[in-house]
Structure 1
Amino acid sequence: MTISKSNKQLNISLIVSDLSSKGAGRWGGAIRPFLLAQALQKLGHTVKIFGIAYEENGLSELPQDLPIISIPCPYYAGFGGTWRSLKQLLPKIDGDILYAVKLKPSSYGIALLKKYLSHRPLIVDIDDWEMSWFGGDGWRYNFTVKGFIEDLFKGNAPLQHPDHPFYLQRIEKLVSLADQVTLHTQFIQQRFGGIYVPNGKDTDLFDPQKYDPQKSRQKYNLENYKILMFPGAPRPYKGVEDILIALEKLNNPEFKLVIVGGSPYDNYDKKLEETWGKWLIQLPKSPVDAMPEIVSAAHLVVVPQQDTPATKAQFPLKLTDGMAMAKPILASKVGDIPEILGDTGYLVDPSCPDQLATQIDWIFNHLEEAQAKGKQARKRCIKTYSLQSMATILSQILEPFCF
């Protein structure tokens, strides 16, 4: 599909919450801010990414094909340290349009300040319900004067970091100050309103015709196994343990779950290895352009999300990895997953290892049929979940600013 470029080329400043190795930089260009940037570039707009990188998380290697202005800041900088970083960052943000990614003080808050100073239009993209990580609407700050002062000023005090839920909860109330809201799930749309913009996949890069699955399996020493692949960072809510329990039930030594990248947050990988190492192969984090070859090695891509407020708000990028590469996909009925897959994948109830085991066994006993369904998934991805389809929606959003 050909995308026509806008009548007016805009300079768009994407403001990202954390460009460190645990923030937006952790996947080096595979996540929402960089997908938005690529789609906007397809429309002929100039895109620059701006943000603070929290030093304690480790500074990351970011894509070289985008202008990225990253200002380092100590994680517990407090208001003084954060303001020093902001004083460096704010003058550099030069877009005709401000586009904040994530409803956080460290992105949307910065964008609101820049909007106030420059009177430029502001769009906010909401790709997570940030308060879901802290109990959602039920979270309350236990206020006492002494405790509040200590939380603000004591060494490494929690309120010295701008993404504390105390601030997240309050910035949710400022969504109406944006000129436009974009989002990628029905859950977020129902909560905040706005325009649906799906996560698009580069279906030219993720093209199964460019790779030989058997050669890929040989390259990564996977040729002796039937490969179930989870191409992302494992977390407890992502249901990886449910897959491993299912493999234990099936007890077939040919089955292996391959995890790509590992967790950048904690020692959850080690826990999985200690408990389920018999069924597990872990591949290291890889650059975006290496992922199609890695996914090519999979017989089956698994996305077994558990049913939590956080997962309901998410659009798992692993789905479109598998769809673009025409792989059979086994996922759980959580959030938008059934809508994204349509009838091109296999769905089970969340947190049901027995259903997973049954479906895994069926898929590998009917692999040709499952592969045909995978080919339909790629067609669906190209039509609805590609960078091109993402750009089409963004062009309509930006049209009022292009004249």
Structure 2
Amino acid sequence: MKVSFLVPDLGWPIVGIAARMARYLTGVHDVEIVGPSLWGGANPMYAGEFEYRRVECPRIYRFPDYAREVRKLSRALQGDVIIAMKAFGSTLPAALRARRERGCRVVAYLDEWDGAVAASWGWGERLKHWARDWAHPCNNVYVPRVERRLPECDMRLVTTRFMQRRFDGRIFHIGVDTERFCPQAPEAVAALKRELGLNGKSLIVFGGVVRPHKGLEEYAAALARLGRTDVALVILGPLNEHVRSLMGHPEYGEFIRCPAVDAASTRAIHEQMPLYLALGDVLIVPLADSLMARSQMPCKVFEAMAMSKPIVASAVSDLPEVLDGCGRLVEPGRVEAVAEALTQVLEDPGAAGEMGARARRRCEQQFSAAASRASLLDLLDEWR
């Protein structure tokens, strides 16, 4: 069986999830990852993880060319099964067109509720966006219309109970390679800590990309509340505008470090992510209490669990269920509670170590790459 993964754009981070899922199927099925490329090629963090196929449809983001470009994209898909990564104007319509024309199966993979952006708008804001973006079918104003076509799919894979309730999907977690993400050699960790100039500091590590709905500000503010110069917050994601804003904050900017200062260092950190995560005395998984965040299951939580490190996370989405008994959970918006949780973990390394060990055991049992691979293969076996 041939499986086509269709991404909204090869430059988007979702291509990393597609690459991981594609590798799960390689060797059992013929697999391709296909998509437009309007950002100068594959996302640099994932460029080497799969051989992507670019489809030239440079005007897919505009009417009236959109229909022609969708037809071109649809006819480029060769799979007996098409997995549309996100319900965007550049994915789902092309996949469903292929289904209508040649009878292939279509699966929608929904990692978050992208329609939450439009759902958060008031009437005035909605009219403003429509006035500006009516000619751009891949922008947020059109996402709710695309989502209304999700019932036409043969299957919807979702990442949280929120999404399951909303779109009647099957929960699928991408999982983590527990052989790669595991406790690291102390000598290598110590050498990296020296190289980064962080000797003598206790490190709180965030392994993801900083975006507004992540709620990282509360954890930074909690660090300032502790007032300890021997503690730093290390962000492993790229140095984007949100990170710069945090680092420039007068209250807590001095506590923040971000070693991913350019494309080369960002790639290096991605390639050595287990070693960088091992720097942490605490790994954090923050989420703000927003519509978007409630729909998400951060993949980074599974990497953190696999590292056998103590985790402090926001009690949002399904994180309380995933980390029950093996992580510290704090309600969003409670900076004092975050500060207290971080203090307790830092001051009781014995209990913190036991908590981390429990997290790794659960990850191996429920959230490993092997478990995710088996789940995805079982789904496709239903259609043989």
Q: Same fold (TM over 0.5)?
A: yes
Aligned 8 A contact 1:16 1:49 in 2: yes
Whichever residue aligns with residue 22 of structure 2, its letter is: A
Matches within 5 A, 1:200-239: 200-209=175-184, 212-239=188-215
In structure 1, runs of 5+ residues without a counterpart are 1-9, 152-156
Report whether the alignment pairs 1:382 with 2:364: yes
Report whether the alignment pairs 1:166 with 2:141: yes
Count of aligned positions = 374
Whichever residue aligns with residue 245 of structure 2, its letter is: K
Aligned 8 A contact 2:59 2:69 in 1: no
Rounded Cα–Cα distance in structure 2 between residues aligned with 1:129 and 1:17: 15
How many angstroms does 1:91 deviate by?
A: 3.3
Q: Which secondary structure does the structure 1 equivalent of 2:339 belong to? A: helix
Report whether the alignment pairs 1:286 with 2:262: no
How many angstroms does 1:387 deviate by?
A: 1.1
Report whether the alignment pairs 1:35 with 2:17: no
- Cα distance 1:72–1:299, how it changes in 2: closer, same or farther (>3 A)? farther
Aligned to 2:34, which of 43, 46, 50? 50
Rounded Cα–Cα distance in structure 1 between residues aligned with 2:105 and 2:326: 39
**1:342 matched residue in structure 2:** 324
How many angstroms does 1:84 deviate by?
A: 5.6
Q: Which secondary structure does the structure 2 equivalent of 1:316 belong to? A: coil
- Cα distance 1:286–1:220, how it changes in 2: closer, same or farther (>3 A)? farther
Aligned to 2:253, which of 272, 277, 287? 277
Show CA shifts across 1:268-303 (max 9, x none): 222111113211001212353311111111111111
**1:311 matched residue in structure 2:** 293
Show CA shifts across 1:211-265 (max 9, x none): 643233223332221100111111232121111111111100011000112365x
Aligned to 1:14, which of 5, 16, 22? 5
Aligned 8 A contact 2:73 2:94 in 1: no
**1:89 matched residue in structure 2:** 73
* Larger CA deviation: 60-69 vs 247-256: 60-69
Task: Calculate the TM-score normalised by the size of structure 2.
Answer: 0.89
Rounded Cα–Cα distance in structure 2 between residues aligned with 1:171 and 1:200: 27
Q: Which secondary structure does the structure 1 equivalent of 2:134 belong to? A: helix
Q: Which secondary structure does the structure 2 equivalent of 1:169 belong to? A: helix
**2:85 matched residue in structure 1:** 101
- Cα distance 1:207–1:391, how it changes in 2: closer, same or farther (>3 A)? same
Rounded Cα–Cα distance in structure 1 between residues aligned with 2:124 and 2:34: 31
Whichever residue aligns with residue 286 of structure 1, its letter is: R
Rounded Cα–Cα distance in structure 1 between residues aligned with 2:61 and 2:143: 17
Aligned 8 A contact 1:71 1:85 in 2: no
Report whether the alignment pairs 1:179 with 2:164: no
Rounded Cα–Cα distance in structure 1 between residues aligned with 2:307 and 2:59: 38
Rounded Cα–Cα distance in structure 2 between residues aligned with 1:345 and 1:96: 41
**2:172 matched residue in structure 1:** 197
* Larger CA deviation: 356-365 vs 132-141: 132-141
- Cα distance 1:362–1:397, how it changes in 2: closer, same or farther (>3 A)? same
Rounded Cα–Cα distance in structure 1 between residues aligned with 2:113 and 2:340: 33
Rounded Cα–Cα distance in structure 2 between residues aligned with 1:53 and 1:19: 5
Q: Which secondary structure does the structure 2 equivalent of 1:33 belong to? A: helix
**1:6 matched residue in structure 2:** none
Q: Which secondary structure does the structure 2 equivalent of 1:123 belong to? A: strand
How many angstroms does 1:377 deviate by?
A: 0.8
How many angstroms does 1:160 deviate by?
A: 3.2
Show CA shifts across 1:16-65 (max 9, x none): 11211x4435xxx3xx32232232237x222211111223x875334434
Task: Calculate the TM-score normalised by the size of structure 1.
Answer: 0.85
**1:60 matched residue in structure 2:** 43
Aligned 8 A contact 2:239 2:258 in 1: no
In structure 2, runs of 5+ residues without a counterpart are 261-265
- Cα distance 1:65–1:302, how it changes in 2: closer, same or farther (>3 A)? closer
Aligned 8 A contact 1:187 1:313 in 2: yes
Whichever residue aligns with residue 98 of structure 1, its letter is: I
Whichever residue aligns with residue 122 of structure 1, its letter is: V
The Cα RMSD (Å) is: 2.5
How many angstroms does 1:169 deviate by?
A: 0.9
Q: Which secondary structure does the structure 1 equivalent of 2:203 belong to? A: strand
Whichever residue aligns with residue 100 of structure 1, its letter is: A
Q: Which secondary structure does the structure 2 equivalent of 1:378 belong to? A: helix
**1:245 matched residue in structure 2:** 221
Aligned to 1:132, which of 99, 110, 116? 116
Aligned 8 A contact 1:35 1:200 in 2: no
Instruction: State the identity %.
Output: 26
Aligned 8 A contact 1:348 1:355 in 2: yes
Whichever residue aligns with residue 171 of structure 2, its letter is: Y
Aligned to 1:268, which of 242, 256, 261? 242
